[in-house]
C-alpha cells in the first residue's frame, strides 16, 4: 500500500506546496522590503518578485503588515541562528569568527537595509517595538556570552559590561555600514579590529 506516497516523491503534497509558496513569498518580501522600505514595497512588487499573483499573498497572510511581521520573526530567528553558529568555535578562533560575522553584515546590503527598516518601524509602532526589542536583546545577549567566553579563555578582563560591549560592537558595525555602501570594506574592518585590539590589551 501507500503506493501513492511512493510514486509521487517528486510531487509535493498540499501542505508542502503551501509551505513552499509561503517561503517564496517571504523570501521575496525580504528583498523588496529591504530595497524599497515598508511604505515603498507594494503587494504587487512582492508577489511579482516571488513569481505569484497578488492574491497569493492574501491567501497566505492577513495583510501587508502581517507579512512584514512574519518576515521580521523569520529574519530574527535566522539571524540568531546564524550568529550562534558563527560563534560556535574554539575560543582562540572567536576573534576571527566574530570579525567574519561583522564583515558579513557590512557586505549584505539587503540585510543592513532590512534591519534599519525594522528599527525605524520599531520607533513608529509600539507593538512592533515590543517584540522587536526583545529579539534584539536576545541577540545581543548571545554575543555578550560569547565575548565573556572569549575574555575568560584569553585571560583578559572585560573592559566594560559585556552587554554594553556586545551592543557597541553591533552598533558600530551597523553604523558604519549605514554610512556608505560596501565599497571599501577595509575601513570598517580596520576600525573594528583596532577596537577589539584595544579592548583586549592586557
Partner DNA sequence: TATGAATGAGCCTTCATTCAT
Partner DNA sequence: AATGAATGAAGGCTCATTCAT
For binding to DNA (CB under 7 A), which residues are involved?
11-14, 17-18, 21, 41-45, 47, 52-56, 58-60, 63-65
CA 30 remoteness from chain centre? 10
Cell numbers given for 116: 534599519
Q: Nearer to a second copy by C-beta: 21 or 125?
A: 125
CA distances in angstroms from 18 to 60, 84, 103, listed in the order given = 8, 29, 35
35 and 113 Cβ atoms separated by less than 8 Å: yes
For position 145 contacting a second copy by CB under 8 A, the verdict is: no
- Could you say which DSSP state residue 202 is in? -
18, 40, 53, 134: residue in contact with a second copy (rule CB under 8 A): 40
Q: Nearer to DNA by C-beta: 32 or 94?
A: 32
Q: Nearer to DNA by C-beta: 14 or 201?
A: 14
For position 152 contacting a second copy by CB under 8 A, the verdict is: no
Listing DSSP states for 125-189 in one string gives -HHHHHHHHHHHHHHHHHHHHHHHHHHHHHTPPPSS-HHHHHHHHHHHHHHHHHHS-SS-THHHH
Q: How far is the CB of 117 from a second copy (least distance, A)?
A: 8
Query: Which parts of this chain interact with a second copy (CB under 8 A)?
Result: 35-40, 109, 113, 116-117, 119-120, 123-124, 133, 136, 159-161, 164-165, 167-168, 170-176, 178-181, 187, 190-191, 194-195, 198-199, 201
Amino acid at each position: 500500500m501507500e503506493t501513492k506516497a511512493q510514486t509521487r516523491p517528486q510531487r509535493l503534497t498540499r501542505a508542502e506546496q503551501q509551505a513552499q509558496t509561503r517561503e517564496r513569498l517571504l523570501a521575496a518580501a525580504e528583498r523588496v522590503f529591504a530595497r524599497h522600505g515598508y511604505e515603498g514595497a507594494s503587494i504587487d512588487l512582492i508577489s511579482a518578485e516571488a513569481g505569484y499573483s497578488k492574491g497569493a499573498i492574501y491567501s497566505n497572510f492577513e495583510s501587508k503588515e502581517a507579512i512584514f511581521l512574519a518576515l521580521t520573526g523569520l529574519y530574527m530567528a535566522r539571524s540568531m541562528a546564524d550568529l550562534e553558529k558563527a560563534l560556535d568555535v574554539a575560543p582562540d578562533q572567536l576573534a576571527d569568527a566574530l570579525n567574519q560575522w561583522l564583515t558579513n553584515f557590512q557586505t549584505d546590503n539587503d540585510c543592513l537595509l532590512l534591519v534599519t527598516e525594522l528599527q525605524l518601524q520599531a520607533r513608529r509602532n509600539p507593538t512592533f517595538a515590543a517584540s522587536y526589542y526583545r529579539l534584539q536583546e536576545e541577540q545581543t545577549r548571545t554575543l555578550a556570552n560569547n565575548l565573556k567566553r572569549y575574555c575568560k579563555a584569553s585571560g583578559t578582563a572585560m573592559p566594560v559590561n559585556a552587554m554594553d560591549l556586545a551592543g557597541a560592537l553591533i552598533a558600530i558595525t551597523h553604523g558604519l555600514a549605514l554610512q556608505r555602501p560596501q565599497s571599501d570594506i577595509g575601513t570598517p574592518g580596520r576600525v573594528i579590529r583596532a577596537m577589539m585590539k584595544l579592548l583586549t590589551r592586557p
